[in-house]
Amino acid sequence: MSVERVHRLSYAVDAAAPAGVLYALVADTAPWPLFLPDTVHTERLDFDGSVERYSHWAGTDGRPRRSMWRRALDAGRRRVDFREERPAGPVTGAGGSWRVEELAPGWSRLLLEQELTVAQGPGTERVLAEAGARGRAVADGLRAVAERWRRLEGLLLSFEESVRIQGPAEPVHSFLYEAGSWPGRVAHVAEAEVVEDRPGVQRARLAHLAEDGSSYPVEEVRVCFPAAGRIVFKRTRPHPLLVAHAGEWSVEPDPAGLTLVCRNDVLLDERAVERVLGPGAELGRARRYVRELLGKEGRAVLGAAGQYAGEPVRALRSV
């Protein structure tokens, strides 16, 4: 009979940011793929205003693990209590809390308390070390983002490209799924290699062509939801102007046809603007450059997907 033991871990970090800003970053998991290197995708399943359930895919080595969480949010106390629904063995129970304390105007403290119930065995220390490291990485990542709160709005950029076609959804989704076949079909993709270690979870390496004929490498993790016609991605090697890049391909059928959508969410690297675009380049120019570049690439893939489905592209639209 295995013996279970409860282990408690704690970590605290101070941030040069208002407590409200720091709490908002903890409470909203949707942008975590842009803020936390290990997070590939988050998706809220239920929310009643104070209690939520969400899925979390983490691990950018190409093998992200999906976990399910229930959280209780208390904005008044700046506290979030969390519990994993079905933790992976040897962990039989995982939960804890995030708390944000105001230290002084413009200064706050983020406290993480973790409680893990573990079936005792040779791997116990490793499990605890990994859990502690993940918790510290999340806390440090959120602190770093919070300390840029005055500039954050200008560094974040989200937009969509879409195309309307009349045709079946299956070949369109197959084209988006089989990114390894894009060279020769998508103008800016010179090379592509896709590895699928587990069904629906892919590692992709692509070489994208720039307008001047040069190429730049792109590496990403893709999580595919065939039944829903969706593929979410997190670039582990984004464009040199970006700190992080995530997004989604989706096929949305309706009685009149299909809408194919590419959504991009990016966090710009303000330190790279002049290095990439030249001396004197400003953030506004970087935003326009990224919007135009990624928009053009997205439209090229969507247009090729429509052609692959055997239907002419009806309209391209940017949002």
- Cβ-Cβ contacts under 8 Å for 243 (sequence gap 6 or more): 34, 155, 267, 268, 269
State the DSSP code for 62. Answer: S
For the chain, what is the domain count? Answer: 2
Residue with tokens 């969480």: 69
Q: Are residues 35 and 78 in the same domain?
A: yes
Q: Are residues 185 and 311 in the same domain?
A: yes
Q: Are residues 139 and 167 in the same domain?
A: no
Q: Are residues 125 and 194 in the same domain?
A: no
- Cβ-Cβ contacts under 8 Å for 188 (sequence gap 6 or more): 208, 209, 296, 297, 300
C-alpha–C-alpha distance, residues 41 and 28, integer Å: 13
State the DSSP code for 183. Answer: B
Give pLDDT tens digits for 176-233: 999 999 999 999 999 999 999 889 999 999 999 987 778 889 999 999 999 999 999 9
On whether the CB atoms of residues 160 and 319 are closer than 8 A, the answer is: yes
Q: Residue 22's domain spans which residues?
A: 4-146
Q: Are residues 311 and 176 in the same domain?
A: yes
Q: Are residues 140 and 191 in the same domain?
A: no
- Cβ-Cβ contacts under 8 Å for 238 (sequence gap 6 or more): 218, 244, 245, 266
> Which one of 99, 126, 146 terminates a domain?
146
C-alpha–C-alpha distance, residues 160 and 276, integer Å: 24
Query: Alpha carbon 73 to chain centroid distance?
Result: 21
> Which one of 146, 176, 205 terminates a domain?
146
Q: Are residues 97 and 189 in the same domain?
A: no
pTM for this model (two decimals)? 0.92
Q: Are residues 210 and 107 in the same domain?
A: no
Q: Are residues 136 and 39 in the same domain?
A: yes
Q: Are residues 92 and 166 in the same domain?
A: no
Give pLDDT tens digits for 297-315: 999 999 999 888 875 555 5
Query: Alpha carbon 281 to chain centroid distance?
Result: 28
Say which CATH number the domain at 207 has.
3.30.530.20
Q: Are residues 53 and 102 in the same domain?
A: yes
> Which one of 89, 111, 146 terminates a domain?
146
